[in-house]
Structure 1
Amino acid sequence: MPKHMVDEIRAYARLFCEPDCNASGTPPSYTVSTLQLDSPKLSLHLAKERKLVNRFKLRVRTYGTDLKGTYFFEVKRREENYVRKTRSKVRAEQYCDALFEEPFCIPDLDADFEVSNHLEFLRLKNAIGARPVAHIRYERESWIGTVDKDVRVTMDRNIRYRRAEGYRFFGEDDGKWRVMDSEMGLRRPFGGLVLEIKSSLQVPTWILKMIRHFDLSRTGFCKYSTAMRLESLFSGDRYTAASDRCGF
């Protein structure tokens, strides 16, 4: 969405939402850093570009700017029109290359379901030979439903990416980031933000009214695939949705 809509949408969301307890400042925001993994032939990226009905992503995510928080190993699945995410979490001092490369290097996890989730992440990674491809970073403004805690309204800004260098995460002071929320990145006649409205299967009436009031239309925006498309353009390749010639 264009930047001029932000204040109005925020004012509307505040009638039904409260600031995310994990965010800080005004508006409530936090930094998201994501390491995207893919196979040598970029099968996960191409599954998205070709709009396969059932697909998944492999990623590691952390929050904040000091990179000293929790690291989440995530499998994000799309099954027809629904999205499901499983994750395991490790402390910053546990995070290392061995977690990806040594078969019996399992971190000290808090619950049995996290062990299952972590093993599933490793199973999928090994099955397709996944390795780090892109590091994506952005600022997320986040609001949570006051009554229905399953509702979340987020606005992502300052979206950027860079090539991955192994399993390390990069800090803010590195100058190799490339912008993704430009006209070229969004494929819109404006630079702007990415608005997400998430809920359970029972969508509250106020969300439907919000969509109608602001004339919002549902569209896909995959940060990882956008990074792949931009990198292809920057590297001089001709990009098509079915092309294997990506710049990574």
Structure 2
Amino acid sequence: MFKKEATPVKNQMVFQRYEIKYQMSRRQQQAILAAMAPYVVPDEYSHSSIRNLYLDTPDFRLIRRSLERPVYKEKLRVRSYGRAGLEAPVFVELKKKYCSVVYKRRLTMPQREALDCIAGSASWPETQIGGELAYTAGFYAALRPAVFLSYERDSYRGVEDEAFRVTFDTEIRYRQEALTLNSDPWGIPILPADQVLMEVKTAGSLPLWMARTLSELGIFKTSFSKYGTAYQTILLSQQRGEQKYA
């Protein structure tokens, strides 16, 4: 069991936790929300319109590797909570997963500077996380924004254990054009309109009340990956010669 979910250092943050995903209907979501009521409260930012730029090589090396389900895998992305201009602060995140444990490094910097670092026209900050990002960018040659992925998120945290978090993501969409965080969240849906993706983020095991609720509703964990699903949809669209936006 981990003692802390995140350790902030100036504009850096390190996460170490389990992240468990569940796909469900909106009716099941309402039942879970009712069961959660005595144990959680809305997070500080209870609702967010999240935008991500997933970074990858021209041949999608990172996501192809991730979909092979290796013991160790990693993803690199730039994230904003809402629309972000070039001078606005964004989060550059290196997300690693080893033996089911998620390790996330997050660095805050202006979007223009982040994109320059990714393009190789500027140096990453001389910090621990900056060094890790520099190494990763150097290891995967020709990294660039590959997919824009957005969704609406509602977030909750535990009353007694603030490191315990539950999030619900809807309207998950992706696109391969207009790759900027300073844009509206349009694109191709990767979940049916009546489906919700719930993520439980915890330093230890599930609380008994949550495990009991999921069992009663017949909801089981899934290995659903937003970027992975987007990539598989891209491949299918290429095979069909189609690309449809909504």
* TM-score bracket for this pair, using the shorter chain length: 0.7 to 0.9
Report the counterpart of residue 189 of structure 2 in structure 1.
179
Kindly indicate whether residue 131 of structure 2 is the aligned counterpart of residue 119 of structure 1: yes
CA change 1:5–1:74 in 2 (3 A) is: same
Q: 1:87-122, CA deviations, whole angstroms, 9 ceiling, x for partnerless residues?
A: 111145x54532223465345xxxx8xx21122112
Structure 1, unaligned stretches of length 5 or more?
24-28, 183-189, 239-248
Q: RMSD of the alignment, in Å?
A: 2.3
Q: 2:107 aligns with which of 63, 79, 88?
A: 88
SS at 2:150's partner residue?
Answer: strand
Residue number in structure 1 paired with 2:153: 140
Mapped partners of 1:48, 1:210: distance in 2: 30
Aligned to 1:152: 165
User: For residue 19 of structure 1, what is the aligned residue in structure 2?
Assistant: 42
Gapped runs of 5+ residues in structure 2?
1-23, 242-246
Supply the distance in 1 between the matched residues of 2:71 and 2:94 (Cα, whole angstroms).
16
Cross-structure match for 1:72: 91
What TM-score do the two structures reach when normalised by structure 2? 0.79
**In the alignment, what sits opposite 2:29?**
6
Does the alignment pair 1:47 with 2:65? yes
Q: What is the CA–CA distance in structure 1 between the aligned matches of 2:225 and 2:120, rounded to whole Å?
A: 30
Cα distance change on mapping 1:208 and 1:69 into 2, 3 Å = farther
Match of 2:12? none
CA pair 229-20 structure 1, distance change in 2 beyond 3 A: same
Identity of aligned residues (%): 25
User: Quick one: which of 98, 104, 109 aligns to 2:116?
Assistant: 98
After TM superposition, the structure 1 = structure 2 runs for residues 139-218 of structure 1, keeping only pairs within 5 Å, are 139-165=152-178, 168-172=180-184, 177-182=187-192, 191-218=194-221
Matches of 1:55 and 1:194 in 2, distance apart?
A: 21
Contact 1:13 1:143 in 2 (8 A): no
| Structure 1 pair 57–231 and aligned structure 2 pair: CA distance change class (3 A) | same
Counterpart contact for 2:157–2:166, Cα < 8 Å: yes
- The runs of at least 4 consecutive aligned structure 1 residues that moved more than 4 Å come to 66-69
Is residue 72–residue 88 contact of structure 1 (8 Å, CA) maintained in 2?
yes
Q: Residue 72 of structure 1 contacts residue 89 of structure 1 at CA under 8 Å; is this kept in 2?
A: yes
The amino acid across from 1:225 in the alignment is G
CA gap of 1:164–1:72, structure 2 versus 1, over 3 A, is: farther
Calculate the TM-score normalised by the size of structure 1. Answer: 0.79
**Native 8 Å contact 2:83 2:182 kept in 1:** no
The answer as to whether partners of 2:39 and 2:159 remain within 8 angstroms in 1 is yes
User: How many matched pairs?
Assistant: 216
What is the match of residue 9 of structure 2? Answer: none
Aligned AA (1:125): A
Query: Which structure carries more strand by proportion?
Result: 2
Higher normalized contact order (CA 8 Å, seq sep 6+, divided by chain length) = 2
C-alpha contact 1:151 1:198 (8 A) present in aligned 2 = yes
Alpha-carbon distance in structure 1 between the residues aligned to 2:71 and 2:195: 28
Deviation at 1:3, TM superposition (A): 1.6
CA contact (8 A) 1:142 1:152 kept: yes
